[in-house]
Amino acid sequence: MYDTTRTESAVTQTDVKISARNVQVYYGDKHAIKDVNVEILDKTVTAFIGPSGCGKSTFLRCINRMNDTIDIARIEGRILLDGEDIYDRRVDPVQLRAKVGMVFQKPNPFPKSIYDNVAYGPRIHGLARSKSDLDEIVERSLRGAALWNEVKDRLHEPGTGLSGGQQQRLCIARAVATAPEVLLMDEPCSALDPIATSQVEELIDQLREKFSVVIVTHSMQQAARVSQKTAFFHLGSLVEYGDTDDIFTKPRDSRTEAYISGRIG
C-alpha cells in the first residue's frame, strides 16, 4: 500500500524490533487487516492513527497475540519479534506476552492492592527471589510509571481506589514490572482528563529509553507529541508509515492528508 523502499531505507540506522510481513486478520468473514507490512523500531514510540474501525487496535493486539482470545479471529502472515515469528507453533503466547506488555484503553487494575497489582506479573513469572526483590521491583516499576510518590504510603490500599489517571499509570507500572521489551498501548489516554493525559504522555516519552512503545491513539495531537514514527491505517490497510514529522507536515497519500486535516474520520 505504501512505498516500502522508502521506509526500509529510513529505518536502517536503528534496530528493528518488530516486523510485520503481509499480515491479514479476519474476524469471521470480515477482512479486518489487509496485508500490512511494517517495521517497528526499538527504543522508539510508534503511533498508530486512523479513523475508528480502521484496524489499528486489531493490529496492535496481533503483536502480543491478544487476538488469540477471540475465537473467530484468524491471522495470516508473519510478525517477527527480534526475527522470531511470534505465530510460530512453538511459541507460547503466555511467554510472548511477558515480553510484549500491554496497557489497555480503560484503566483496568485488578481489584487488589496497589502493591499486588504491580507484583502480580513478577510473581507469576518468578522474577523475584525474595520479598525484598519484589519490593524493589514494585518500587522501581511505580517510579517508572511516575506514581511512586503518590502511592508510596498506601501501597496496600486497593488499586481501584485511585483516580483514573493514577489507575492508568498503575496499569503502566504493572506492565513495566514484568520487564517487557515492547509496550503496547491501546488508546491509553482516552479515558483520562487532560492533566492525567499529559502525565501519561510524559511517561511514554521516558519509557522510550527502555522499550519499544507502540501506541494507538485517536488524537493526532497526541501522536504528534509523543511519537517518532507514525502509521496511518484506513479501512484495514496501512496507508502510510514514516517519521511523525513527515506524516503530519508533508503526507504523501491523499487519504492521510484528508485524515490529518479532519476531513475523514
- 200 interacts with other proteins by CB under 8 A: no
| Residue 232 makes contact with other proteins by CB under 8 A | no
Q: What is the DSSP string of 96-147?
A: HHHHEEEE-SS----SSBHHHHHHHHHHHHT--SSHHHHHHHHHHHHHHTT-
Q: By CB under 8 A, is residue 220 in contact with other proteins?
A: no
- β-strand 30-41 against 182-186: which pairing, if any? unpaired
Report the residue from 4, 12, 94, 152 that binds other proteins according to the rule CB under 8 A: 94
Q: How far apart are CA 84 and CA 96, in angstroms?
A: 11
Quick check: 103 and 172 in contact, CB under 8 A? yes
Is there binding between residue 95 and other proteins (CB under 8 A)? yes
Instruction: Examine residue 97 and tell whether it contacts other proteins (CB under 8 A).
Output: yes
Measure the CA–CA gap between 156 and 167, rounded to whole angstroms. 14
- Of 15 and 94, which has the nearer Cβ to other proteins? 94
Which segment (36-44, 91-99, 224-232, 237-245) binds other proteins by CB under 8 A? 91-99
Cell numbers at 136, concatenated: 524493589
CA atoms within 13 A on the CB side of 158: 7
* Options 57, 58, 64, 167; binder of other proteins; rule CB under 8 A: 64
Residue span 15-54 as binding mask against other proteins, x where in contact by CB under 8 A, dash where not: ----------------------------------------
Q: Which residue, 59 or 104, has its beta carbon nearer to other proteins?
A: 104
Task: Assess contact for 35 and 41: CB atoms under 8 A.
Answer: no
Q: Count of residues for the chain?
A: 265
Q: How far is the CB of 230 from other proteins (least distance, A)?
A: 21
- For other proteins, which stretch binds (CB under 8 A), given 18-26, 75-83, 119-127, 201-209? 119-127
Closest CA to 40 of 95, 76, 79: 79
Binding residues for other proteins, rule: CB under 8 A, are 64, 66, 69, 71, 94-98, 101-104, 106, 108-112, 120-121, 124-125, 158-161, 171, 174-175, 177-178, 262-265
